[in-house]
Structure formats: C-alpha cells, structure tokens
C-alpha cells in the first residue's frame, strides 16, 4: 500500500487524479477505461482534476464505463438523491464518462429477490467489462468502504446491506432529516472491490483520521472494512494532513 499525503485539498485531488490516470494506463493500457466510481464528498476534487486532464488532452473518458460502488434501496434512480443521479452530475457531467456507460446497482424492485438477482448480475457485468481497472474509494468515519459496514465479510460480493446508524447520521446532511435517509442499500462487496486493478482511496479531514489509521495500520479485520486495502497489491491512499494525523 502506498500512502501519499497532500498539503492542501487541491494537492490531494491532483495526487489522486494522477494516480487514477497512471492506474488506468497500467491496468487498462489506456484503452476503454473501466473506472469504479464513488459518491460522497471525498472524490469531488479528484473528479474536477479529471475534467482538467480531459480538457488538456491527457485523458479521454468518452469510451469509458463506470461502475458505482453502491446505491440506496427505495430511492428511484431518477430521484436527485439517488447515487445514479449524483454520479451523472459528478462524474458524467464533470469529466465526460458517458451516461450510457454508467452502471449503478439496482435499488428499486418489487421484491428483495429481484434486488438480490440484480446485485448478482452487477458482479457479472463487472466481470464482463473485463474488470474495474481503477476503483475510486472514500472511507466512512466508521471505516466502511462502499457501504460495507463494520462486520462485513472480507470476501463479500455485491449484495443488500443495512446502513449503520453512524452512516445514516453522516449522510443525513443530504436529506431533509435523518428519518428520510434510507435504511438499506446495495453495495459492491469487499471481495468485489478487491478485484479492481488499482484502488485509490481519498480521505480528508480529522473526522477520518481514526478510520484511516485503523485501515492502514490496524489489524486486518471486518470491524474496520477499510483494512482490506492491506490485502491489495496496488492500493494507493491519498490523505491530507488532518486525515493522516492518526498514522504512526
């Protein structure tokens, strides 16, 4: 695992973008990028840097596919708070990954069985694409990656998960009150995430320091799902000073 510390939010974003592009070149030979994309605040600067790279001719996502990490259950994918719509704004409309190439787990169906079948098909679709070349990640203050909350199996696949109480509190800022935050989601499993060619995790701010320290230097444990990065051959963790404060 490589841990890189930026001196400002902009620096963190630039380092992360450089590592995404280098990862695509290495794992995808630069053609038809397959990118794993995260929602949330952490990758927003990175997405803006990818837009700069496209504008400067250093990157081209017009033939790319994107696989989202997760989606809420019970929010239609046309709703502005769905992760699909969020990613259309933050990924497709920012650096030009085509909407037709954006895959998001299915969070609405008539039955749990249908959602489970779609989750299984999602893992198959990732495989059929040739695999995610670079997976962008954030980390929750409780150590989750994707919505693999503490206690998630280290080899889990895309599936339904209940959101942890802390995650619902953290994400209430996007909703009109915590009671509107969904209770369940579909998330890529930790085993699914680990199959990507490179992982680029971005974390900033002191609220992430404890989770980062446990993920990077703690024991490999389901109680800190981010610790699975220790198992990956090509994991890059990009931090600001505040998020790195708990590292030895």
- The DSSP secondary-structure symbol of 163 reads P
166, burial (CB in 10 Å: exposed 0-12, middle 13-18, buried 19+): middle
Q: How far apart are CA 196 and CA 45, in angstroms?
A: 22
- Which of 47, 147 has the CB closer to ligand F6R? 147
The footprint of ligand F6R on this chain (CB under 6 A) covers a number of residues equal to 14
Min dist CB 98 to ligand F6R, Å, is: 20
Pairing of strands 184-187, 70-72: antiparallel
Task: Specify the stretch interacting with ligand F6R by CB under 6 A; choose among 34-42, 59-67, 126-134, 217-225.
Answer: 34-42
**Identified binder of ligand F6R from the candidate list 20, 21, 53, 69, rule CB under 6 A:** 69
Does position 145 interact with ligand F6R (CB under 6 A)? The reply is yes
- Tell me which of 27, 71, 123, 142 is the catalytic residue: 142
Of the residues 146, 182, 197, 218, which one makes contact with ligand F6R according to CB under 6 A: 146
Give the residue among 135, 137, 133 at the shortest CA–CA distance from 29.
133
Active-site residue, from 70, 71, 90, 123: 70
For residue 135, give the 3-state DSSP assignment. strand
Candidates 38, 193, 229, 235; binder of ligand F6R (CB under 6 A) is 38
Q: Is 41 in the site for ligand F6R (CB under 6 A)?
A: yes
Token duo for residue 240: 């600001």
CA distance 34 to 131: 7
Stretch that binds ligand F6R, among 2-10, 35-43, 109-117, 218-226 (CB under 6 A): 35-43
Alpha helical stretches, state H, 66-178: 83-87, 93-95, 112-128, 165-171
Quick check: is 19 catalytic? no
Nearer to ligand F6R, 8 or 41 (CB): 41
Stretch of 5-13, 51-59, 124-132, 144-152 contacting ligand F6R, by CB under 6 A: 144-152
Please, which contacts does 172-180 make with residues 24 or more away whose CB atoms are closer than 8 Å? 174/81, 175/81
Q: Tell me which residues touch ligand F6R (CB under 6 A).
A: 38-42, 69-70, 138-140, 144-147
């Amino acid at each position: 695992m490589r841990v890189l510390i930026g001196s400002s939010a902009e620096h963190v974003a630039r380092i992360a973008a450089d590592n995404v592009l280098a990862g695509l070149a290495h794992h995808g030979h630069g053609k038809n990028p397959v990118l794993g994309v995260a929602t949330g605040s952490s990758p927003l600067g990175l997405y803006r840097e990818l837009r700069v790279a496209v504008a400067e001719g250093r990157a081209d996502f017009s033939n790319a596919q994107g696989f989202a990490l997760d989606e809420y259950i019970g929010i239609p994918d046309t709703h502005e708070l769905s992760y699909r719509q969020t990613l259309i704004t933050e990924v497709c409309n920012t650096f030009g990954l085509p909407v037709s190439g954006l895959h998001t787990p299915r969070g609405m169906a008539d039955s749990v069985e249908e959602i489970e079948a779609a989750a299984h098909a999602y893992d198959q679709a990732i495989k059929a694409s040739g695999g995610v070349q670079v997976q962008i990640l954030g980390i929750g203050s409780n150590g989750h990656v994707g919505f693999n909350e503490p206690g998630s199996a280290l080899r889990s696949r895309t599936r339904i998960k209940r959101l942890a109480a802390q995650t619902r509190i953290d994400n209430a800022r996007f909703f009109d009150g915590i009671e509107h935050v969904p209770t369940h989601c579909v998330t890529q499993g930790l085993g699914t995430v680990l199959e990507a060619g490179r992982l680029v995790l971005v974390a900033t701010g002191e609220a992430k320091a404890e989770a980062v320290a446990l993920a990077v230097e703690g024991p490999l444990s389901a109680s800190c799902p981010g610790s699975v990065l220790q198992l990956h051959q090509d994991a890059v963790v990009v931090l600001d000073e505040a998020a790195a404060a708990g590292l030895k």
